[in-house]
Structure 1
């Protein structure tokens, strides 16, 4: 009997369960996972949990501490890992700042099934697809054509993301799994502009394989893409317009409590109601309004603004690595392994100095230690000299400028 294990996460989808894998294996083996289940349950009226029950998947609680520090059996996976095997989410990032793209690659990008970067520039250290469009719609359209040609046999869903968003692919899978990806779906944060519904790019949006198939049929060349929209910074509006012409409109992606999943602003702006003035248009134009303040955001939010590479790494730590203690803790409280037992450290030091530990007084030990260990000031001076060559420290001509030094020469 196999079991599927789901770990506990504070925000992203993996909330402490063990899945009965025996029934699931029988179910998935009959056909492709999404084709089999989603062809029966096409509507969002089915929640993920209802879909799981209908698919014959059973869940059981599991202590997260055992999952983190115990030995996982060969027949066990986290529920999020199970979905990653069966719900293929391709993440497409439109890059403006290279450092943001690098941060994404090293953090949340690892949780996508595949990751593609597109930009107006190329880079030797990051696999960026360089495009030379005439407009932002041309850029988006050509990136859609590229991923369709390269990934169409694998992809189920494609997330289009600006490089200043933090994304939780697990929560995207949690939301889209009950839908049939072969049908045209278009998810995100929906605005109304010039009587046109569209999902705003700054919050990211999701297209199903069925939607991409329609678009690539209509825009089957870069020339067709070029002629489809001529203005910059309006590609999300044009996408909504072109999809509506094909009969595809945005859907309500709020959770059961009316809270949003796709957010174009950072959490500091969204969670505090006193800071909403600057976002008033964002809410006024929202077709499916969400509460302002602490109840703005779903516990299974999929995207929010991160404002830069440092915040991307911060959110990655908070969401994927930091754990709030709930129960257990037996394994997590174990001390870190050390190559030398603590009580042997000082004896080993004396042996390295050629002195027997029985013959050394406390004062002699201190003097030996002092001769080998630099003071903080001496250590900093050594690093400074190694960095600058033989130049002395100070503010003379040979000194390196400090990061905090004023640029205008004032003290």
Structure 2
């Protein structure tokens, strides 16, 4: 369980996330708040009081049972030095649920901990050059190295993964069958290519809530990230100016890998491009007919129907909010399945 210091816990109390928190419960020398800090009844009471649409939505999400066959999952956060505080929040919360975790940055920082990965081009959360460099590292680690992982989840320092639900999705019959047949898998939030001048690209996975590749897709991707590995000079894998999510989809498409279906049986999305409260509060009348989110989405739903009960990931969850969301899902409902 993620540990909070006294000042962080006091801020959480002011937000009424878990009103039974006591600063003494969250002292630095202790392991941090447990399920005793926040009972499910208190969470429902908070939701009725209306201070948090995060809680209203997250209370509808059910942590799925552990799969009978455990797939090994490597979780990766991409960041840069100016945002290491955000990466620390991820490292001390949801990343602890993975079989392996890496924070890749533009410089080493033992306080995160982060590993510096040099790359061409500008620094930024949406830089394909940065992502290319990071995926080369991951290919070397997982495919050419000794690290044994079935899947890699990859995103920025403000995405959060509900790891139990991701494991359940990966163990679902269609995905399990494809993985066992060594088929490459590319998972995330599918968007239509509504504004991009790429006639051949019908869908791509949004980068915000993170993407997930299995080891077979990563094995194919790695060599194509450099001309030396066999990529032709004009390959989309070598693009310099594309956003990372579109560039990734174009690159994978060159060897026949397309985004897979990740919605639940009711057609509700599992990967979400905004934070929980935004999705819960969003209504159709808030979006113009030509709004990018309306145009890009598949069968967009709103309110309580916005998100699957087995949701996997959210975006724009930063710093203290990441700790709060993690506690609402795990700390406040430990043992609830």
Question: Which bin holds the TM-score, normalised by the shorter protein?
Answer: 0.5 to 0.7
Partner of 2:110: 124
Partner Cα separation in structure 1 for residue 102 and residue 72 of structure 2: 14
Counterpart of 1:206 (choices 206, 212, 223) is: 212
Partner of 1:295: 305
Partner Cα separation in structure 2 for residue 88 and residue 241 of structure 1: 27
Counterpart of 1:149 (choices 140, 154, 160) is: 140
Partner Cα separation in structure 1 for residue 261 and residue 218 of structure 2: 20
Question: Is the 8 Å Cα contact of residues 137 and 230 (structure 1) preserved in structure 2?
Answer: yes
Partner of 1:192: 192
Which of the two has higher C-alpha Rg?
1
Cα separation, partners in 2 of 1:304 and 1:222, compared to 1, 3 Å: farther
Shift of residue 132, structure 1, vs aligned partner: 2.5
Counterpart of 2:169 (choices 156, 166, 175) is: 175
Question: Is the 8 Å Cα contact of residues 287 and 294 (structure 2) preserved in structure 1?
Answer: no
Partner Cα separation in structure 2 for residue 110 and residue 210 of structure 1: 25
Shift of residue 325, structure 1, vs aligned partner: 10
Cα separation, partners in 2 of 1:221 and 1:120, compared to 1, 3 Å: farther
Partner of 1:257: 266
Alpha-carbon deviations, 1:291-316, whole Å to 9, x = none? 12210100111101243111111111
Partner Cα separation in structure 1 for residue 257 and residue 335 of structure 2: 44
User: Highest relative contact order (Cα 8 Å, sep 6+), 1 or 2?
Assistant: 2
Counterpart of 1:88 (choices 72, 87, 110) is: 72
Partner of 1:163: 157
Q: Structure 1: which 5+ residue stretches go unaligned?
A: 1-7, 16-78, 327-411
1:322 is aligned to 2:306: no
1:218 is aligned to 2:224: yes
TM-score (norm 1): 0.56
Shift of residue 277, structure 1, vs aligned partner: 2.7
1:105 is aligned to 2:114: no
Structure 1 runs of 4+ aligned residues shifted over 4 Å read: 220-227
Alpha-carbon deviations, 1:247-300, whole Å to 9, x = none? 1111221101111000010111111234843893123112x3331221010011
- Taking the TM superposition and a 5 Å limit, the aligned residue runs for 1:4-19 are 11-15=61-65
Question: Is the 8 Å Cα contact of residues 138 and 226 (structure 1) preserved in structure 2?
Answer: no
Partner Cα separation in structure 2 for residue 121 and residue 289 of structure 1: 41
Instruction: Tell me the SS of whatever aligns to 1:203.
Output: coil
Instruction: Tell me the SS of whatever aligns to 2:333.
Output: coil
Alpha-carbon deviations, 1:302-361, whole Å to 9, x = none? 1012431111111111111113999xxxxxxxxxxxxxxxxxxxxxxxxxxxxxxxxxxx
- Taking the TM superposition and a 5 Å limit, the aligned residue runs for 1:11-410 are 11-15=61-65, 79=66, 83=69, 86-96=70-80, 97-135=83-121, 136-152=127-143, 153-177=147-171, 178=173, 179=175, 180-181=178-179, 182-193=182-193, 194=196, 195=199, 196=201, 197-219=203-225, 228-231=238-241, 234-274=243-283, 276-277=286-287, 280-286=291-297, 288-323=298-333
Partner Cα separation in structure 2 for residue 91 and residue 324 of structure 1: 22
Partner Cα separation in structure 2 for residue 222 and residue 134 of structure 1: 16
Cα separation, partners in 2 of 1:106 and 1:295, compared to 1, 3 Å: same
